[in-house]
């Protein structure tokens, strides 16, 4: 998905061209996916290019944060990637290394943190705030004024009613409807969403 978004953006405005994937699985070296080759392990970033920007395209939030923090501590530059079909209000702030997939909509006054994934067709309505390392799965619907704290995962097709809060490193199940606050580190699912466990 990341390569596809980059190619589409490259076709449209010629600003960002995918150079290659970095993957620690040595067996993937040289293999191509969406016409982009695996060029080496993550540690090889600075040998391959000092000027390139990087996006950590790992779905698991804790793993993505770990890799993001390692690269940041070594001075990596992060790109934020936006599929050309994404609709983003002009005043929206998007952090470093964040990725907006095809069909995403982010409405006015919203703030998206660093290293965030907004997956296919997700909508984030006005004045919402997403912390760093958040992942909204495909087709998530968020009302206005929602706050999603660092590292939370909202599963595919879930809905978050306006002005609700989703706590740090919590998980909201696919298809859930969040009608009240989800506590930090909780897993909640169902309609309305109920806490399955915490921690
Ligand atoms: C909610 C979720 C985190 C629970 O996963 P889990 O801890 O492995 O839970 P289990 O599969 O063991 O299920 C525990 C119980 O919750 C129920 N459950 C699981 N997911 C549910 C969901 N999305 N909605 C309603 N109930 C759910 C199960 O049926 C089970 O019920 P039971 O105890 O009565 O049998 C997971 O099912 C989920 O929805 N993850 C979202 C993944 C996603 O969309 N990621 C985006 C990737 S792009």
Is the pLDDT higher at 4 or at 174?
174
Residue with tokens 């968020």: 142
Ligand 1 atom nearest the C-alpha of 156 is 44
3-state helix, strand and coil shares in percent for the chain, rounded to the nearest 5: 20, 30, 55
Q: How far apart are CA 181 and CA 146, in angstroms?
A: 10
For ligand 1, atom 1, name the residue with the nearest CA.
173
Q: How far apart are CA 121 and CA 93, in angstroms?
A: 19
Measured from CB, residues less than 6 Å from any atom of ligand 1 are 59, 119, 137-138, 155-156, 171, 173-176, 187, 189-190, 196
Q: What is the pLDDT of residues 87-112, one digit of tens each?
A: 999 999 999 999 999 999 999 999 99
Q: Is the dihedral of CA 190, 195, 196, 199 positive or negative?
A: positive
Looking at beta carbons, which pairs linking 40-49 to residues 24 or more positions away fall under 8 Å?
42/67, 42/70, 42/71, 45/71, 45/74, 45/76, 46/74, 46/76, 48/19, 48/20, 48/22, 49/19
pLDDT at 15 over 90: no
Q: 196, 198, 199: which to mutate for ligand 1, most atoms within 8 A of CB?
A: 196
Give the pLDDT score at 53. Answer: 92
For ligand 1, atom 13, name the residue with the nearest CA.
196
Strand partners, 195: 188
For ligand 1, atom 7, name the residue with the nearest CA.
187
Please list, in sequence order, all residues whose beta carbon lies within 8 angstroms of the beta carbon of residue 69, skipping any fewer than 6 positions away: none
Enter the pTM of the model: 0.95
Q: Is 126 noted as a catalytic residue in this protein?
A: yes
Q: What 3-state class would DSSP assign to 25? A: coil
For ligand 1, atom 48, name the residue with the nearest CA.
137
Write out the H or E segment, with its range, that includes residue 54.
strand 53-54
Q: How far apart are CA 41 and CA 26, in angstroms?
A: 7
Cα of 173 vs centre of ligand 1, distance in Å, is: 6
Catalytic residue among 83, 126, 127, 133: 126
Q: What is the pLDDT of residues 50-81, one digit of tens each?
A: 788 999 999 999 999 999 999 999 999 999 99
Cα of 189 vs centre of ligand 1, distance in Å, is: 7
Ligand 1 atom nearest the C-alpha of 119 is 48
């Amino acid at each position: 998905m990341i390569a596809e978004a980059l190619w589409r953006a490259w076709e449209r405005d010629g600003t960002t061209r995918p150079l290659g994937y970095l993957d620690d699985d040595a067996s993937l070296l040289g293999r191509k996916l969406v016409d982009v080759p695996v060029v080496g392990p993550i540690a090889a970033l600075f040998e391959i290019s000092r000027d390139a920007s990087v996006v950590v395209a790992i779905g698991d939030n804790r793993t993505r944060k770990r890799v993001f923090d390692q690269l940041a501590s070594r001075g990596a530059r992060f790109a934020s990637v936006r599929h050309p079909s994404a609709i983003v209000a002009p005043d929206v702030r998007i952090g470093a290394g964040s990725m907006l997939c095809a069909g995403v909509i982010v409405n006015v006054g919203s703030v998206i943190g660093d290293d965030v994934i907004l997956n296919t067709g997700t909508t984030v309505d006005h004045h919402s705030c997403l912390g760093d390392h958040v992942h909204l799965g495909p087709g998530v619907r968020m009302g206005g004024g929602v706050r999603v704290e660092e590292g939370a995962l909202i599963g595919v097709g879930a809905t978050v009613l306006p002005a609700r809060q989703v706590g740090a490193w919590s998980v909201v199940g696919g298809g859930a409807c969040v009608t009240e606050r989800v506590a930090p580190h909780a897993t909640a699912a169902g309609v309305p969403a109920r806490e399955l466990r915490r921690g």
